[in-house]
């Protein structure tokens, strides 16, 4: 069986990569910079927030487990100052802790695994093309607006 090669158009955009593990940070940075992304790195949440204060990034990839603030804490802080930023959370604890987009605030959650690189590339490319940041889920009790349906024109 011959596998079809996936074609990925490079997208030039600024991206903040946050991870306390220098090897993970270097590997992800290398992969995404080869696709045309302009990468700035931070080794912890405090540095990431300082960089955001200087100039907000349209896209951020963060690890979950870091000293001080974890990735979810960082996401909450970023959402408070730059809610339009697209965020990818990478973690080895996705299944064990039940981390999802809904409970983390991330636009995409990726499990560290053998498939991590391809999933990261797809998520970053998809999010860099998104025109609006992910909106939080509707609050309980909030009413949905009615959807108008078009009637079919009746031709017997």
Complete DSSP assignment for 85-131: -EEEEEES-HHHHT--HHHH--SEEEE-STTHHHHHHHHHHHHHH-S
pLDDT score recorded for residue 151: 47
What does residue 101 show for φ and ψ, rounded to 5 degrees?
-60, -40
pTM of this structure: 0.75
Assess whether pLDDT exceeds 70 at residue 91: yes
Would you kindly state where each structural domain of the chain is located, as residue ranges?
14-129
- Give the pLDDT confidence of 26-83 residue by residue, as tens digits: 999 999 999 999 999 999 999 999 999 899 999 999 999 999 999 999 999 999 988 9
What is the separation of C-alpha 114 from the centre of its chain, rounded to a whole number of angstroms? 19
CATH topology of domain 14-129: Rossmann fold (3.40.50)
pLDDT score recorded for residue 19: 95
């Amino acid at each position: 069986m011959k596998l079809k090669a996936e074609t990925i158009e490079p997208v030039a955009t600024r991206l903040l990569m946050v991870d306390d593990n220098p090897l993970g940070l270097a590997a992800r940075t290398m992969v995404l910079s080869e696709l045309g992304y302009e990468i700035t790195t931070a080794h912890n949440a405090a540095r990431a927030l300082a960089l955001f204060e200087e100039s907000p990034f349209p896209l951020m990839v963060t690890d979950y487990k870091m000293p001080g603030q974890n990735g979810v804490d960082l996401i909450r802080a970023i959402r408070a100052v730059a809610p339009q930023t697209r965020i990818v959370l990478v973690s080895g604890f996705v299944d064990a802790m039940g981390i999802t987009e809904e409970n983390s605030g991330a636009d995409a959650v990726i499990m560290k695994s053998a498939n991590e690189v391809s999933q990261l590339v797809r998520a970053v490319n998809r999010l860099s093309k998104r025109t609006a940041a992910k909106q939080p889920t509707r609050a309980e009790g909030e009413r949905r607006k009615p959807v108008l349906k078009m009637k079919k024109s009746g031709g017997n």
